Amino acid sequence: MTRVACIGECMIELRQAPGGQAGGLYTRFYGGDTLNTAVYLSRLGVDVDYITALGDDALSDEMIAGWASEGIGTKRVARLPGKLPGLYLIQTDDRGERRFFHWRDSAAARSLMDLPETEDILNSLASYDIVYLSAITLSILQEDGRERLMAALKRARLLGTRFAFDTNFRARGWPDLAVARSVFSGAFETADIVLASTEDLAPLFPGESNTALLAAISSPEVVLKLAEPACILRFAGRSGEVRAEPLTKPVVDTTAAGDSFAAAYLAARLGGAEPEDAARAGHRLAGVVICYPGAIVPRYAMPLKKPVRSSTSRKASQ
């Protein structure tokens, strides 16, 4: 069976209740870019583990129980006594565009590369078909932690594991753009699959065309999501555009649009789909997710899934 590891941070999510006023009622859940992707991967039939660090508090217990209920493996979640998860608040405008406010400076996940169990976690990466992480994952780590993680990914790739990198970029997570560009460049050189967007890359490469942005990514398989509902693919020496189908419902909240796209794309590729069909699956799921509030949509809203073929191996779709 194919196995995926998602590495990153999950935080407590506060979301203003529908129709609420500033300072009014908020609902509490949890979310984080790579955790959102892990949830959608699991719902699409992929065997997925989540790798992170949490505290020993009741909210962390609640997270782990919730992940397990979604079928996500939690055996590689480190628990840190006295620590807490981070917290974020979502504010959306009348078009569904979101703005985030974070409280995460002392969150447990920031210590993931500095724990007694870190070496075991890093050695385990070679047991997965794909390891998926985002630029946010890298931004919460110190420089030596990033280097340690990237070195482990390079070792795992020698044994057949593929590395998928999502360019989810938040400027506040980086000390400056030069550091971010350097880290992105290293990730592009290592990754087998890059899931990028013009929104993420524009601050790093201002004024560059889509062609130039693609040229800056050295990975063999690239998805560049555009400002309009479409993406450009580059794979096996060819490139082309894949457009999303028109929406039939109003946009409510764009949170996790990219995370769900990544999940559907990777699940389809693991199932043997060509990149073009995988991109269509990504557009389809993202188009559902943005019509619901919050990062994780109700189970009943999920599109009919196409199960991952059990014959797919670590070398499939390479």
Q: Which of the following is catalytic: 105, 192, 259, 277?
A: 259
The secondary structure element, H or E, covering residue 88 is strand 87-92
Helix H or strand E encompassing 280: helix 275-289
- Asked whether 259 and 36 are in contact (CB, 8 A), the reply is yes
User: Could you tell me where the DSSP H helices lie in 28-131?
Assistant: 33-43, 58-69, 118-124
- The token pair at 124 is 């385990």
> Which amino acid type is present at position 106?
S
Residue 253 known to be catalytic: no
State CA 183 to chain mean position distance. Answer: 17
Which of 107, 121, 83, 99 lies closest to 9 in space, CA to CA?
A: 107
Single-letter residue type at 14:
L
Report the SS3 class of residue 81: coil
Using CA atoms, how far residue 187 sits from 6, 16, 33, in Å, is 15, 35, 17
**Residue 231 φ then ψ, to 5°:** -145, 160
CB 150 within 8 A of CB 114: no
> Hey, what amino acid is at 236?
A
Q: Rounded to whole angstroms, how far apart are CA atoms 76 and 268?
A: 25
**184 contacts: CB under 8 Å, gap ≥ 6:** 135, 167, 204
**For the stretch 232-243, what's the b/e string if a residue is b when 16 or more beta carbons lie within 10 angstroms of its beta carbon?**
bbbbeeeeeebe
Question: Which positions are catalytic?
Answer: 259
